[in-house]
A and B are shown apart, each in its own frame.
Chain A
Amino acid sequence: MKTGSRMMKTVQCFVMIVCLCGCMNSRELNELGIVMGVGIDKGDESGTVRITAQVVKAGEIASTGKNSGGIGGKAYVNFTDTGNTVFSAVRDITTQSSRKLYFPHNQVLILGRSAAEDGVTKYLDFFMRDPETRLNVYILVADGSAEDALATDPQLEKIPASAISKLVEGEAKSTSQAMAVELKDFKDSLMVKTNAPVAPIVEISDDGEKKTAKINGTAVFKGDKMVGALDKTEGRGLLWVLGKVEGGIIETTSSQGNPVSLEIVRAKGKFSPELVDGKVKITITISEEGNIGEEAGTENLTALPEVAFLEKQKGEVIKNEVTAAIKKAQELHADIFGFGESIHHKYPEEWKAMKDQWDELFSEIEVEVKVEAKLRLSGRISAPAVPK
């Protein structure tokens, strides 16, 4: 055989292999049902689960607005179905949806309250195992049902799921009163026995015309069941300890008793355990910097004694928030901070003995909170705009 014709035959074989086998995984863009949000609720019958998938309508999303939705032109569709397991419900949705669901761009995973209290591991396994889903979705607990949460009005965004995910991010950055939890962090906490996972709570408020979503509070899980919630103050207390506060306002009063709002610019927090006489002592060190944001009174807050006073007040507020968070956690017997793990890291030998009683030991630990709060800038004006 001449080289030329042999090469032709090789090329033919190659082309055949590639052509015949390759196309199976190809999906055109207009065959995808891009899922932006998933809601998990406990099904009506016991042992079932109801899944809501929010799918984007790509045509309506076009930002040039050629076919601008107009009145009631929603850019998304919510599909709901019930099944015995999450995967079976998801697959069942294809009987309703004209396109196969496509998960890699999912933004939020909302657990309805009923599902959260039922134990979430069985619901989350699908999202951890399937190669399409990703671990950086935000996980939230809905105040009512996840289905309702996904049906709220997106207000400034086009799709409720992306609105909620932006709410979570914004919340963590601007007010830091609830933690933004991604599935990977949730999974990390789930895998450690003594840690208690948390997730922000999304509240659905109905003012008659439309429903809107709001982030309010943090849900606390023990094992994989939701056992309670932290309110805004306690939520921020948790964030202080973990060092995840990125912004927010501390409301306190000046030396004259007038309300003052101090803006948090940056904060650091860490904790370390110590074993004192067989008892656990946790030292939490928080350092914070902030600016004067607003004052309601007339005194000049930039006077140095005022500044010192405000710093002390700030420190008190932070300390109170942290203490409140610890108290609530101890009430719920849930180690949301990860104190147990830190003891494991530092004292592995002693931890082996303490591990199993950690639930009770957690309520008896001694906590010392050291706060260092500083006030740096006063904004554009020093004294308020009042006559001298």
Chain B
Amino acid sequence: MRLEKGVITNTQLMFLILSFMEFMVMSVNFVYSICGADAWIAVLAAYAVTMLVAVGYAAIAKSYPGKNLVEINDVVFGPYLGKLFSALYLWFFFEYMIHIAYYFNSFWLTYIMTETPRAVFVILLIFVCAAAVRSGIEVIARCSMVFAIMVPIMAVFAAALLLKDMKLFHFLPILDLPPKDFIQSVHIILTIQFCDIVVLLMILPYAEDNNKIRKPLLIAVSLGAALLLFTVLMSTAVLGARMNNSTSVTFAITREIDVAKVLTRLDVLIAITLLITVFVKVAVFYYATVLGLAQIFKLRSYKPLIVPVGILAIAISANLYPSDMEQVYCARYIWPFNASLFEFILPAITLIAIGVRSLTGSKKERNG
């Protein structure tokens, strides 16, 4: 029985994906200290790979229209193995959600309100996301349309104000990196920034026209990549060498804005952007987790699960890492490999299995 009765149009889907990806504008900080001024090249490389991966995701979704990831796993791998895979995916989504909530929490604690108790921001964030999840995917899609437009506008606005501070020589010298660092940064950007759209496999079936999913997906990925590239270029142009020891580059940029001494101190722009992007991201992951859980346990509705999952999320994310430095370390060295499993390897296995099934299926048809 279909747990989610909402339907979103393809345009809304595109905006949803776009606003979902916009969080990467903030989280790209992890990469700067590895690749420095060449981050933009890494972004381009990651984008190229992502397009292929996105086509793969769309293929998975298209081969079983109307079924989301959990259901696909059930069909492709059989009831037991499929549920195991789904459970693994759900764990991944939940983990991701917690990590982002932690990042959000620590950002506000570091920069803006330093003395508030640790868990407060997370609590309120999960609260609001729970309200959104409860109202269903349609509401999330509608809100995300508004946000998808706001973030690029703010980025362009900030860039316009920073034009006078941009210096092209900050980009030189180009590709002064050892290849190992470059590959590592591409890997990080790929897994953290781009390919978490795997969670969209849970949502794609609720779009209006299941056969035309590929186009909005690819367009959204391209727009998102363009936004990220724009931000990275802007950050590099403005900050140059100082990027290497900033804990949050995007924040450092907005602190630079100083136009005629009037338009100054616009840190709030970053705080709002962060809030918006984190909200969409957490809402989508939250929704996917809750929906998937409800499907695995064959519940009639996912609503009773919202509160328990939320409380778990708050409890774990408030104390996820003992310190911010550990999170940065994990994001750089550990998480990419963890995420690769779920973003590349498992979907690849699924695709292969689908291919095998369709081959054997058509063979059966021909024989029988």
Query: Interface on A for B, CB 8 Å cutoff?
Result: 14, 17-18, 21-22, 24-25, 104, 131, 134-136, 184, 187-188, 191-192, 342, 344-346, 348
- Are A348 and B111 in contact, with the CB atoms below 8 A? no
B260 CB within 8 Å of chain A: no
Which of A14, A21, A187, A348 touches B116 (beta carbons < 8 Å)? A21
Report whether B120 and A22 are in contact in the complex, using a CB–CB cutoff of 8 Å: yes
Stretch at the interface among B168-176, B178-186, B273-281: B168-176
Bound state CA distance, A184 and B170, in angstroms? 14
**Residues on the A chain within 8 Å of B110, using CB:** 131
Of B176, B241, B244, B256, the contact of A348 (CB 8 Å cutoff): B176
B117: interface (CB < 8 Å): yes
A131 proximity list for chain B (CB < 8 A)? 110-111, 114
Structural contact, A188 and B120, CB atoms closer than 8 A: no
A14 to B124, CA, bound (A): 8
| Per-position 1/0 for B93-127, Cβ under 8 A of A | 00000000000000000110111110010011001
Closest residue of chain B to A185, judged by CB? B242
From A25, A134, A342, B255 is in contact (CB under 8 Å) with A134
Tally of contact residues, B, Cβ under 8 A: 25
Kindly list chain B residues whose C-beta atoms are within 8 Å of the C-beta of A348: 173, 176
Contact A187/B123 with A25-B115, A131-B114, A345-B172 known, Cβ cut-off 8 Å: no
Are the CB atoms of A17 and B123 closer together than 8 Å? yes
Q: List 29 A-B contacts (CB under 8 A).
A: A14-B127, A17-B123, A18-B124, A21-B116, A21-B117, A22-B116, A24-B115, A24-B117, A25-B113, A25-B114, A25-B115, A25-B116, A131-B110, A131-B111, A131-B114, A135-B252, A135-B255, A136-B255, A184-B242, A184-B256, A187-B242, A188-B241, A188-B242, A191-B244, A192-B241, A345-B172, A346-B172, A348-B173, A348-B176
The reply to whether the CB of B71 lies closer than 8 angstroms to some CB of chain A is no
Q: Measured between C-beta atoms, what is the minimum distance from A127 to chain B in Å?
A: 13
Q: Say whether chain B's binding surface is mostly helix, strand, loop, or mixed.
A: helix
Interface residue B324 (Cβ < 8 Å from any Cβ of A): no
B56 sits at the interface (CB 8 A): no
Q: Given A131-B111, A134-B255, A184-B242 in contact, is the A344-B116 Cβ separation under 8 Å? A: no
Chain A residues whose C-beta falls within 8 Å of the C-beta of B240 in the assembled complex: 188
Partner of A136, one of B113, B176, B242, B256: B256
**Interface status of B208 (Cβ within 8 A of chain A):** no
Q: Interface digits, B344-359 against A, CB 8 Å rule (1 contact, 0 not)?
A: 0000000000000000
**Chain A proximity of B242: nearest CB distance (Å):** 6
**Complexed CA–CA distance, A184 and B172 (Å):** 19
| Given A14-B127, A18-B124, A188-B242: A345 touches B173 (CB 8 Å cut-off) | yes
How far is B120's CA from A18's CA once the two chains are assembled, in angstroms? 8
Would you give the 0/1 interface string for B161-201, flagging 1 where the beta carbon is closer than 8 Å to chain A?
00000000100110010000000000000000000000000
Which residue on chain A has the smallest CB distance to residue B108?
A25
Residues of B within 8 A of A344 (CB): 172-173
> What is the distance, in angstroms, from A162's C-beta to the closest C-beta of chain B?
12
B258: interface (CB < 8 Å): yes
Given that A131-B111, A187-B242, A191-B241 are contacting pairs, would A136 and B116 also be in contact in the complex, using a CB cutoff of 8 Å? no
